[in-house]
Structure 1
């Protein structure tokens, strides 16, 4: 359990939400400032208009006003988008980001 907690802390410390969302959301406009920003097209439904999907560049939280998808961090984003459990989403981030 201690190793799992350490992995979680490493992911949250190593992966900056700005870098994560720029990598995962190619349609996201260039981020300016911090806090809640336009995330581009929502990856959780067949979105055709920008503006309803928002990401928080400080915490990694996300929210879609159209489909209702939401989460508190980048791990929750991976869980929902890829249909993974929390441990599997954490491991995917560790593997993909080389942590």
Structure 2
């Protein structure tokens, strides 16, 4: 089996799909690009509006704790404590190779 690259993974897994599954409490977006991501998963957040995600690029930013990254791989790595190759493998397993069921 050929090695899955980050670019191939990000092309196959839209940021909007990833964030809707990874952040089930995220309110429905009213527009594309930067949206309210719900409560920040990186600290004990109590106030909506601090955590934002970009549904186009996959970038994320918390204005309270400072967590930020440029794409879904960075988010997945930070949230689950994975290496870069580990995040690619985990995302592929969760979203691409199991029929889209994030289990």
How many Å separate the matches in 2 of 1:73 and 1:24? Answer: 13
Correspondences of 1:11-50 after superposition (within 5 Å): 11-50=9-48
> How many pairs are equivalent?
96
Q: Which has the higher helix share?
A: 1
- The equivalent of 1:85 in structure 2 is 83
How many Å separate the matches in 2 of 1:91 and 1:22? Answer: 20
Q: Under a length normalisation based on structure 2, what TM-score does the superposition of the two structures give?
A: 0.87
- Unaligned 5+ residue runs, structure 1? none
How many Å separate the matches in 1 of 2:74 and 2:56? Answer: 15
- Unaligned 5+ residue runs, structure 2? 98-103
The offset of 1:49, in angstroms, is 1.1
Query: CA RMSD for the aligned pairs?
Result: 1.2
How many Å separate the matches in 2 of 1:97 and 1:26? Answer: 15
- The equivalent of 1:54 in structure 2 is 52
Moved over 4 A (4+): none
